[in-house]
């Protein structure tokens, strides 16, 4: 049977600087969903990459005495390295300076122009250079850019406009009739009431004030607006090019999920559908605007000096601890917080105490009592039920949470099995059973139940902490690592466990 396809994308990161842990969180979040879907049996296409044009990048390159291309090559490379470091299992890493993308964007612009959806006009407005955005007087906050709080300047230029107003009605209908298009719900209300209903103005889609961008094909004084350039990455790199579409595009488009941060929901849920309609293409199934990761409860900013970088964290705590922390600490719709202290607390309480300890204690007892040999004589007692029933229901529980992108809760549900396993040790007291020879089979059963609970947890932890799951599988010497093996009792018997390895060393906070 052919597998069902699943196309997931992240936002493409600006190559204006090295991404901090907040940007990196998005790649990890998308990765956990992509890995989960693969394990569920989907044919996944996971796309991420970099957004490399625009005035801000042109200026940054100048500051660094580099050509824009040299500058973006370096940063794009670093971003890719960070994604690799964090075990982000993308299928394609795209760049907006890829020739295939640049050519496709020009054809897209031409098609929109030929259709009458783009026309030449004049723009005069308040412009924020770092955000590459024009604002109206009423959108400013204290006279400054509502997104970044910096100064805006008055700017006038000849420009091409996209007829966003033409799609007003269709957008209203989309938001009113399709309740799952944009999640969480709060963002849908915000877009509909604050942006769409008050009336959409045509969108300025070209610039003449700088040159680092894709040229308007029929007027090379103009470069194409960076958001028109960037948003189309989701189709161009799959092989969409107006007059010719690839098999890959036919297979994977429309995307199932565009995962993006809450600050760019407007671009994805209003501009992007209008662009797609203009091209007569289908809309993505869903957009999820995730909350942000704050540093010490403040917005992370390179200029603020509070930026935390994934590579520093990984060096200190390892990849999986960082993945676990960011995935666990950001609830569905509220911002999460990160500090070194909080990360260390979570590391000790969850990873070292609950997970690491359980694995170590269980393997140590198996070694001590049965030379690490696994068997299951099935001497059942009622105390086992709680553990087994929960373990058998865990995939369904986790699946419900994953389908709603409640990743933090899914992790908690898996850790609940580990918590119950620790409690099970206290309830069954293996060290007491070990003193009574007639209880040998019961002791074997107890240890089997513990090892099996560890295996099931590790199978389900794969999307989030792949390296840790692999280590556990190796210690358990098990081949049963797929979701098909999740029913309790699938850990092989007559196998010998491998040497235990410390998964997470406790951190001494002092
Ligand atoms: O917005 N916590 O790029 P970008 C969580 N190039 N997510 C965060 C965050 C934080 N503290 N800070 C930023 C862009 N993000 C555009 C996207 S897509 C066609 C073009 C998220 O490098 C942010 O919301 O500024 C965005 O989704 C992603 O990181 C890249 O941000």
- Distant-in-sequence, close-in-space partners of 186: CB < 8 Å, separation ≥ 6: 333
pLDDT band of residue 302 (cuts 50, 70, 90) is low
Residues facing 122 on adjacent strands: 158
Residue closest via CA to ligand 1's atom 22 equals 13
Question: What is the best residue among 19, 26, 29 to mutate for testing ligand 1's pocket, by most ligand atoms within 8 Å of CB?
Answer: 26
Does ligand 1 come within 6 angstroms of the Cβ of 11? yes
Calpha distance 92→46 (Å, rounded): 7
Tell which atom from ligand 1 comes closest to the C-alpha of 335: 2
Does ligand 1 come within 6 angstroms of the Cβ of 263? yes
Does ligand 1 come within 6 angstroms of the Cβ of 23? yes
Q: Is the pLDDT of residue 300 over 90?
A: no
Question: What is the best residue among 22, 227, 231, 337 to mutate for testing ligand 1's pocket, by most ligand atoms within 8 Å of CB?
Answer: 22
Tell which atom from ligand 1 comes closest to the C-alpha of 10: 27
Tell which residue, 192, 195, 167, has the closest CA to residue 177: 192
- Distant-in-sequence, close-in-space partners of 81: CB < 8 Å, separation ≥ 6: none
Q: What is the pLDDT of residue 510?
A: 63
Q: Per-residue pLDDT tens for 41-96?
A: 999 999 999 999 999 999 999 999 999 999 999 999 999 999 999 999 999 999 99
**Long-range contacts of residues 472-479, Cβ cutoff 8 Å, at least 24 apart:** 472/359, 472/503, 474/498, 475/359, 475/363, 475/499, 475/500, 475/501, 476/451, 477/374
Tell which residue, 8, 3, 42, has the closest CA to residue 26: 8
Calpha distance 76→174 (Å, rounded): 35
Q: Per-residue pLDDT tens for 101-153?
A: 999 999 999 999 999 999 999 988 898 888 877 788 888 999 999 888 999 99
Tokens matching residue 13? 């990161």
Q: Has residue 21 been placed in a domain?
A: no
Calpha distance 429→499 (Å, rounded): 23
For ligand 1, the distance from its centroid to the CA atom of residue 13, given in whole angstroms, is 6
Q: What is the pLDDT of residue 194?
A: 93
pTM, 2 dp: 0.94
Q: Has residue 416 been placed in a domain?
A: yes
For residue 448, the number of C-alpha atoms closer than 13 Å in the C-beta half-sphere is 24
Neighbours of 27 (CB within 10 A): 24
Q: What is the pLDDT of residue 234?
A: 98
Q: Is the pLDDT of residue 219 over 90?
A: yes
Q: Per-residue pLDDT tens for 433-442?
A: 999 999 999 9
Q: Is the pLDDT of residue 496 over 70?
A: yes
**Long-range contacts of residues 473-478, Cβ cutoff 8 Å, at least 24 apart:** 474/498, 475/359, 475/363, 475/499, 475/500, 475/501, 476/451, 477/374
Q: Has residue 478 been placed in a domain?
A: yes
Q: Per-residue pLDDT tens for 149-185?
A: 999 999 887 999 999 999 999 999 999 999 999 999 9
What's the DSSP call for residue 481? -
Tokens matching residue 325? 């922390």
Q: Has residue 440 been placed in a domain?
A: yes
Tokens matching residue 7? 């196309």
**Long-range contacts of residues 36-43, Cβ cutoff 8 Å, at least 24 apart:** 36/402, 36/463, 37/6, 37/8, 39/462, 39/463, 39/482, 39/483, 40/399, 40/483, 41/3, 41/4, 41/483, 42/3, 42/4, 42/5, 42/6, 43/2, 43/3, 43/4, 43/5, 43/6
Does ligand 1 come within 6 angstroms of the Cβ of 21? no
Residue pair 92/49 in contact (Cβ under 8 Å)? The answer is yes
Does ligand 1 come within 6 angstroms of the Cβ of 13? yes
Q: Has residue 240 been placed in a domain?
A: no
Q: Is the pLDDT of residue 303 over 70?
A: no
Q: What is the pLDDT of residue 472?
A: 98
What's the DSSP call for residue 117? S
SS3 of 149-215: the string is: CCCCEEEEEEEEEECHHHHHHHHHHHHHHCCCCEECHHHHHHHHHHHHCCCCCCEECEECCCCCCCE
Q: Per-residue pLDDT tens for 457-469?
A: 999 999 999 999 9
Indicate the pairing of strand 92-95 with strand 43-51: parallel
Tokens matching residue 44? 């996944």
Calpha distance 48→255 (Å, rounded): 13
For ligand 1, the distance from its centroid to the CA atom of residue 260, given in whole angstroms, is 7
Number of domains in the chain: 1
Average pLDDT of the segment spanning 178-193: 94
Q: Has residue 464 been placed in a domain?
A: yes
Residue closest via CA to ligand 1's atom 11 equals 22
Q: Has residue 359 been placed in a domain?
A: yes
∠ CA 370-374-379, nearest 5°, is 90
CATH of the domain at 434: 1.10.730.10
Calpha distance 194→346 (Å, rounded): 38
∠ CA 152-158-159, nearest 5°, is 85
Residue 394 C-alpha from the chain's centroid: 22
Q: What is the pLDDT of residue 508?
A: 87
For residue 70, the number of C-alpha atoms closer than 13 Å in the C-beta half-sphere is 9
Residue pair 160/206 in contact (Cβ under 8 Å)? The answer is yes
Calpha distance 323→316 (Å, rounded): 13
Average pLDDT in the chain? 95
Q: Is the pLDDT of residue 427 over 80?
A: yes
Can you give the residue range of the structural domain that contains 437? 341-496
For residue 261, the number of C-alpha atoms closer than 13 Å in the C-beta half-sphere is 18
Tell which atom from ligand 1 comes closest to the C-alpha of 268: 19
Q: Virtual CA dihedral for 455, 456, 461, 466, nearest 10 degrees?
A: 40
Q: What is the pLDDT of residue 127?
A: 87
Q: Has residue 102 been placed in a domain?
A: no
Q: What is the pLDDT of residue 501?
A: 94
473 phi, psi to nearest 5 deg: -60, -40
């Amino acid at each position: 049977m052919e597998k069902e396809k699943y196309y997931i994308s992240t936002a493409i990161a600006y190559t204006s600087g090295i991404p901090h842990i907040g940007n990196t969180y998005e790649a990890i979040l998308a990765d956990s969903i992509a890995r989960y879907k693969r394990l569920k049996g989907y044919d996944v296409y996971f796309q991420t990459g970099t957004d490399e044009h625009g005035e801000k990048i042109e200026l940054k390159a100048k500051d660094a005495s580099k050509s824009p291309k040299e500058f973006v090559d370096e940063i794009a490379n670093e971003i890719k390295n960070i994604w690799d470091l964090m075990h982000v299992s993308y299928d394609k890493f795209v760049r907006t300076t890829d020739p295939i993308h640049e050519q496709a964007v020009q054809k897209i612009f031409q098609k929109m122009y030929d259709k009458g959806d783009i026309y030449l006009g004049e723009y005069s407005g308040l412009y924020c250079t770092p955000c590459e955005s024009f604002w109206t007087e009423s959108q400013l906050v204290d006279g400054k850019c509502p997104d970044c709080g910096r100064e805006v300047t008055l700017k006038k230029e000849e420009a091409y406009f996209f007829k966003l107003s033409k799609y007003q009605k269709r957008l209203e209908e989309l938001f009113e009739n399709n309740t799952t298009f944009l999640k969480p719900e709060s963002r849908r209300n915000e877009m509909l009431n604050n942006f769409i209903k008050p009336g959409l103005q045509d969108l300025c889609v070209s610039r003449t004030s700088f040159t680092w961008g894709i040229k308007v094909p029929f007027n090379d004084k103009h470069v194409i607006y960076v958001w028109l350039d960037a948003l189309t990455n989701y189709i161009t790199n799959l092989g969409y090019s107006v007059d010719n579409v690839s098999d890959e595009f036919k297979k994977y488009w429309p995307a199932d999920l565009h995962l993006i941060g809450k600050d760019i929901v407007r671009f994805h849920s209003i501009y992007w559908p209008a662009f797609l309609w203009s091209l007569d293409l289908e809309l993505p199934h869903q957009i999820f605007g995730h909350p942000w990761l704050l540093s010490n409860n403040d917005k992370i900013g390179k200029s603020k000096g509070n930026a935390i970088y994934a590579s520093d964290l990984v060096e200190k705590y390892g990849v999986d601890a960082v993945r676990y922390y960011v995935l666990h600490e950001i609830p569905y719709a509220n911002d999460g917080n990160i500090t070194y202290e909080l990360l260390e607390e979570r590391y000790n309480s969850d990873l070292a105490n609950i997970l690491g300890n359980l694995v170590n204690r269980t393997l140590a007892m198996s070694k001590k009592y049965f030379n690490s040999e696994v068997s299951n004589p099935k001497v059942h007692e009622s105390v086992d039920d709680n553990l087994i029933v929960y373990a058998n229901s865990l995939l369904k529980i986790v699946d419900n949470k994953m389908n709603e992108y409640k990743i933090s809760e899914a992790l908690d549900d898996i850790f609940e099995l580990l918590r119950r396993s620790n409690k099970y040790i206290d309830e069954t007291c293996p060290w007491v059973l070990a003193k009574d020879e007639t209880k040998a089979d019961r002791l074997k059963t107890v240890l089997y139940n513990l090892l099996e609970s560890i295996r099931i947890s590790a199978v389900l932890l794969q999307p989030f902490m792949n390296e840790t799951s692999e280590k556990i599988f190796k210690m358990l010497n098990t081949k049963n690592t797929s979701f098909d093996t999740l029913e309790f009792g699938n850990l092989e018997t007559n196998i010998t466990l491998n040497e235990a390895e410390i998964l997470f060393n406790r951190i001494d906070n002092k």
